[in-house]
């Protein structure tokens, strides 16, 4: 296994060529591969280093990515943006066009009262999306996917030893009834995205029952990542494969498409793009990002993906 110094990958200085070189030289001996993406700050890289020195030093960890302000479009975002600018960003530019979708846009009342430093919070929303889409684009370029990708902040600890034991148990128990404590742990397929904590929304929100929340951690299995990088060729029939038909149907503009009017990501889609490629272009080019980071995953994955709490 590589040393912690070699594994600490600052995302701003990492590309697919770097990943290919690391993997070709790697002595990764675990039967499973777990990648970790930490969305943190360059002011607190010691926290991310501590994570790598402790729980993320587990033999199953393949790559340890760290995103900071250096991954933001404007690296001085939190220094330039004032609280008044955040209020304008949230209350005016991100005003909700439809009350039935309160979860996707940044909510002005909640965040203006709860956040001690509004500018840091506002800037971090795009950082999360920038980091996630870059990592998944590198997977598309290298065609080297982990069994699981964990996304969390720099203040979270994950019991990877427990997770690895459950992975081994599920592998050894194929075709046999698994034990109760392992029943919720997803295998590498079918596609599953799950979280350490979920929000629970009422049914009036058009079926958006739950999604990941906070720094507790969000987990993607291999097949969910594969779905995100599959090119989509949306023709008149919707697409050649079932996945294409499902995703292309969601990309069609409709007269009452409230999520598109809030996010606006669909205008960046071109035939042959994957879902991640579309979101990659969107977060880098949209003038005002109105998606809270916790809801970005739900938008990127799209309902009705299997989002579970673990």
DSSP the chain: ---HHHHEEEGGG--HHHHHHHHHH----SSS-EEEEEE--GGGHHHHHHHHHTGGGSTTEEEEEEE-GGGSSSTTHHHH--HHHHHHIIIIIT--S-TT-TTTBPPHHHHHHH-S-HHHHHHHHHHHHHHHHHHHHHHHHHT---SEEEEEETT----HHHHHHHHHHHHHTTTSPPPGGGTTS--S-S-EEEESSEEE--GGGTT--EEE-GGG-EEEEHHHHHHHHS-----TTS-SSHHHHHHHHHHS--TT-HHHHHH-GGGG--TT--HHHHHHHHHHH-SS--B-HHHHHHHHH-TT-EEEE-
Cα angle 150, 283, 141; round to 5: 60
* Confidence label for 42 from pLDDT (cuts 50, 70 and 90): confident
Binned at pLDDT 50, 70 and 90, residue 256 comes out as very low
Closest CA to 129 of 71, 43, 195, 47: 71
Confidence of residue 12 (pLDDT cuts 50, 70, 90): very high
Q: What is the mean pLDDT of the segment spanning 12-26?
A: 93
Instruction: With beta carbons less than 8 A apart as the criterion, state whether 148 and 221 touch.
Output: yes
pLDDT score for 211: 56
Least confident interval from 148-152, 268-272, 305-309: 305-309
Amino acid 148: pLDDT: 92
pLDDT digits (tens, 9 = 90+) for 63-82: 999 999 999 887 777 777 77
State pLDDT tens for residues 170-181: 555 444 444 444
Residue 109 pLDDT greater than 60, yes or no: no
* Number of domains forming the structure of the chain: 1
Q: Which domain holds residue 164?
A: 4-309
Higher-scoring residue by pLDDT: 242, 272: 272
The percent of residues above 70 in pLDDT, for the chain, comes to 67
Residue of 274, 284, 36 whose CA lies nearest to 157: 36
Given a cut of 50, whether residue 305 has pLDDT beyond it is: no
Residue 100: its pLDDT value, please? 36
Of 9-18, 45-54, 151-160, 209-218, least confident by mean pLDDT is: 209-218
Q: Are 242 and 227 in contact (CB under 8 A)?
A: no
CB 305 within 8 A of CB 253: no
**Whole-angstrom distance, CA of residue 217 vs CA of residue 196:** 5
Q: Picking from 151-160, 182-191, 195-204, which range would have the lowest pLDDT averaged per residue? A: 195-204
Output the average pLDDT for the chain: 75
């Amino acid at each position: 296994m590589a040393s912690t110094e070699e594994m600490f990958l600052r995302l701003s200085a990492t590309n697919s060529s770097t990943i290919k070189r690391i993997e070709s030289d790697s002595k990764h001996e675990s039967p499973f591969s777990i990648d970790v993406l930490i969305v943190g700050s360059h002011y607190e890289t010691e926290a991310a280093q501590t994570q790598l020195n402790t729980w993320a030093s587990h033999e199953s960890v393949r790559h340890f990515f760290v995103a900071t302000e250096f991954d933001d479009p404007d690296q001085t975002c939190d220094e330039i943006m004032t609280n008044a600018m955040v209020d304008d960003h949230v209350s005016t530019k991100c005003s909700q066009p439809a009350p039935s979708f309160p979860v996707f846009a940044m909510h002005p009342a909640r965040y203006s009262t709860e956040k001690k430093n509004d500018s840091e919070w506002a800037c971090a929303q795009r950082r999360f999306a920038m980091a996630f889409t870059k990592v998944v684009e590198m997977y598309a370029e290298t065609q080297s996917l982990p069994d699981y990708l964990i996304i969390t902040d720099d203040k979270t600890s994950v019991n990877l030893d427990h997770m690895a034991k459950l992975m081994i148990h599920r592998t050894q128990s194929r075709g046999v009834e698994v034990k109760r404590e392992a029943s919720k742990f997803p295998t590498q397929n079918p596609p599953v995205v799950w979280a350490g904590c979920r929000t629970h929304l009422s049914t009036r929100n058009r079926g958006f029952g739950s999604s990941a929340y906070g720094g507790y951690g969000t987990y993607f299995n291999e097949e969910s990542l594969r779905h995100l990088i599959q090119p989509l060729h949306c023709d008149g029939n919707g697409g050649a494969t079932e996945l294409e038909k499902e995703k292309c149907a969601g990309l069609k503009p409709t007269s009452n498409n409230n999520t598109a009017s809030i996010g606006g990501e669909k205008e960046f889609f071109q035939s042959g793009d994957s879902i991640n490629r579309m979101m990659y272009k969107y977060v880098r080019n949209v003038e005002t990002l109105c998606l809270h980071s916790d809801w970005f995953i739900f938008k990127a994955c799209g309902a009705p993906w299997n989002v579970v709490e673990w």
